[in-house]
Structure 1
């Protein structure tokens, strides 16, 4: 059973917000209250309210009109995800979701979870430029985006000020849809309730990054998921930009992974 030690740690001054290094800022799309983001409550294993989308987002050929941003590193479509120890994909219960970094986040101990739906032309132009750069053979002009950011979030049971910063961006032109995952700073892989070390945030059952379609058949695991190697996800990519992974989400496809990055076995992948 999980018991919060947030008050004790806060009184001891053990949790300190840390901004990521300036030189890596271009990897992340703008986020935070100044961008009009909503912020999740400070709650271990908490989630956002149900977010109704202005336009449908197509994920594995199915349209969704609402989603949840879950503190534990998941954007889910049908239901909230409070589970803190990740399971391997495909999930037997058929939950469709995007897992940029599914692990035991505790934002009471440190960090914030932000999200917003946007049609800001400056951001959409930047996203369009990125997609066209990575996938030049697929005509695409973003008309909508949803940006969820986990900003220097702590892990459950932490006795340090380690934090992870990562981001999931969903975008569409109403016909094609894409998901961009950005990994800015990853310092831990596992919470204490998942058998991780409270002092290091390592060991136990490490974080899972990937996609579950919800049909018990189609899924994708980013290489290193649920192994100690996931801490190096800031150095890997399928579009030759360290820390960035890009996927076509409507009819799910993955741009080619560089030869030095091994594919995870037992994934039902569709490669461009």
Structure 2
């Protein structure tokens, strides 16, 4: 009985940890504008609402394009649906989840965005909440968010990039070789200035790597945050400090997983003893 209780408690702890991986926040601030239900569309140029242009690796921007396929760009809209390597891209992009998002079905959420204020700072945010994948699929839904925060308090042009993930159930649209949302060329995440400065999350374009069901999933890691599923990149004087620790489960998550496995193994052994 003691072993059984241990296994049940450990398994419950793992489930609870996963359920609490909710990084998306203040989503209501970013619902002022909606990109109509679509596949592969983009907005026109949208002002970020910053007091001073954002300095992104030496080039400053006041406006951007919101693209349905999980990213924003600064110099051109992007309708591409199969993710490419961000480290070889020739134009600036910030991509929390670059993949073939399809919001045409009514069962899918829509892409929403707005400029606002949060914590005394100007912010621009994009919500991709409960969005489906190509073609017209909603059996699996993803929820993620991008927030750009002006940090004029640390210097003109400084800002933070924040990726937030609540749920990642699919990784690929069928036009990118996916079957039922998996395989083919999966999602990529990261950023580039279109030149020599870039970063791509470990697991980008790797089958199953970003999914909630995988220990390397986006909801299980963090950067510059104690919140699982939240990755913050501080842009100061146009430069981002080298990222580390991405897509790695927090030690607590690993410990709980190990405890659950140990408990379940003990329970199986207990049952096998007559």
Instruction: Give me the TM-score of the superposition, normalised by structure 2.
Output: 0.72
Give, in angstroms, the shift of residue 63 of structure 1.
0.8
Choose 1 or 2 for highest CA Rg: 2
1:257 aligns with 2:245: yes
Unaligned runs of 5+ in 1: 1-22, 126-142, 262-272
Q: SS of the residue aligned with 1:162?
A: strand
The residue that corresponds to 1:222 in the other structure is 201
| Pair 258,36 (structure 1): closer, same or farther in 2 beyond 3 Å | closer
Equivalent in 113, 116, 138 of residue 115 of structure 1: 113
- Distance, in Å, in 1 between the alignment partners of 2:223 and 2:30 is 28
Higher relative helix content: 2
The residue that corresponds to 1:76 in the other structure is 73
| Pair 191,63 (structure 1): closer, same or farther in 2 beyond 3 Å | same
Q: CA RMSD in A?
A: 2.2
| Pair 243,26 (structure 1): closer, same or farther in 2 beyond 3 Å | closer
> Is the contact between residue 30 and residue 124 of structure 2 (CA under 8 Å) also seen in structure 1?
no
Equivalent in 153, 162, 170 of residue 140 of structure 2: 162
- Distance, in Å, in 2 between the alignment partners of 1:64 and 1:213 is 11
- Distance, in Å, in 2 between the alignment partners of 1:26 and 1:192 is 28
Q: SS of the residue aligned with 2:169?
A: coil
Equivalent in 165, 185, 188 of residue 208 of structure 1: 188
- Distance, in Å, in 1 between the alignment partners of 2:98 and 2:246 is 24
- Distance, in Å, in 2 between the alignment partners of 1:192 and 1:40 is 22
> Is the contact between residue 30 and residue 112 of structure 2 (CA under 8 Å) also seen in structure 1?
no
Which residues in structure 2 correspond to 1:90-239 (within 5 Å)? 90-92=87-89, 94-109=90-105, 110-119=108-117, 123-125=118-120, 143-174=121-152, 175=156, 176-197=158-179, 200-215=180-195, 217-228=196-207, 229-231=209-211, 232-239=217-224
| Pair 35,210 (structure 1): closer, same or farther in 2 beyond 3 Å | closer
Q: SS of the residue aligned with 1:161?
A: strand
1:215-252 residue CA offsets vs partner (Å, 9 max, x unmatched): 2x111011211112122111122234321111023312
Q: SS of the residue aligned with 1:230?
A: coil
1:73-132 residue CA offsets vs partner (Å, 9 max, x unmatched): 01111110100001112234x21010100000011022111111112xxx225xxxxxxx
For these two proteins, the number of residue pairs brought into alignment is 214
The residue that corresponds to 2:42 in the other structure is 47
TM superposition outliers: structure 1 runs of 4+ over 6 Å: none
Bigger RCO of structures 1 and 2 (CA < 8 A, at least 6 apart): 2
> Is the contact between residue 67 and residue 73 of structure 2 (CA under 8 Å) also seen in structure 1?
yes
Give, in angstroms, the shift of residue 194 of structure 1.
0.1
Unaligned runs of 5+ in 2: 1-18, 212-216, 250-274
